[in-house]
Structure 1
Amino acid sequence: METVFDALKALKKASSHEIAARLEISRDDAVTELWKLKRRGEADNKGSMWWLTSEATEAAPKTTAEMLINAIEQHGPQSADELALMFGITSRRANSSLAMAVSKGRLIRVNQDGQYRYCIPGDNLPAEPKAASVTETDGKAFPQPAGVALPVREAETQEEIKTESVAVTVQSQSSFIRKHPDGLILPSLHVANRELRRAKGQVQKWERLCAALREINKHRDVIQKITTGDNG
């Protein structure tokens, strides 16, 4: 995956806006990475334009998945953000390389102290890991063995997983969520969509009723005369 360094190398000179557009990232992220390169002496700028220094273009080692695995072997479990900081790369690039290593069985991904970290299989596992409950599309849950990694999507970071907001939303829908000794059993997407359609239908009925009542209230005097038989 192309990094800010790679983009600068290809463009020769570029602004943070051009870098952000090329990599499809925010300008703030591009500026942050550019300043990291400058602090390491790999890039320089004048005004809004950035370029690589001659030292950086002469020898720019590429960070590989093997290098990340070796770092984990030496330093123990690491998160994608920690490895990105260690090698001076983006979290997205670290996640991509780590996901490939997980798919090949070289690494496993575990939850350690509320943060996802990558470990060598059979070694460096968190103490007393807890089994997680994984929900399938039919709404049934089954235990996930401790230390077994789940598939990792590219660019999936801790910040992107809005756990707290999801938990609040799920718990508020108690009418169709069942309790289980190991935790909540979530409904399938089909059931959730069905409940959503049902709720929208109820809302539409009440909206029509309110509209009808408003019209009736506008002509309350006429309706009262009709119902009482008053022709005066």
Structure 2
Amino acid sequence: METVLEALKLMGKATAREISARMKIDVREILGILREHEELEQIELVNGWWQLTGTGAKTPRVKPAVPAVKVVNSKERPASPAVATPARKINEAVLAELMTQHGELTTEQMAKLAGTTVRAVASTLAMPVNKGRIVREKRGSVFHFDVAPKALTTKLPAVDDVIQQPEPAVPATRSDAEFLDAIPQMAKCQAAEMVCPTPKSIAAEIRRTKSRLNQLEELRVTVRRLARQQRALGF
């Protein structure tokens, strides 16, 4: 049976697939055989072609340089970078206290005294300045801030000075007789012993009222007609 070395000697140079087709062996098995011969430096891979060692221009193998490990003395070790101290959280009360103690201050001065950044001071001052609790004054190109003067507290009126609101008068309760007298005459019963009108009397009163209403409506129509006639005649 032909070996890989014999096949390469006859073929000169070939790929792993060509060697596999010639020897009728699986290409993965051929690759394993080729790697074994390459480790023994019997063959070499040049530009994708397998060939016997020394038959062509051999690319020299350069071993990767191992970086030298420098032993650093503990005394020569560079100092670790300093960790930045986080800015102190502030609020309006902190800045107001600083201005109360030191008077008018700029944002840079307040940031230095409070141990924070100028941006944090500016953002904290925005709201109280708009509300008028802190006064801002520009001198040249620099803004100075100060606590606004406190408004005079209004004195609460004494208890004796408060005007007593009169209590609403409680309506006097009426007797039954007064209540019945307040009922309209049309709703009163004819009989003295009755305390409320009967449905019949109420119906009669409704009929009389409707009749009176109809008469008034007819009278209104007649008056309007007469008024139109007078205007037409020029009166």
Length-normalised TM-score, structure 2: 0.27
Whose helix proportion is higher, 1 or 2? 1
Whose strand proportion is higher, 1 or 2? 1
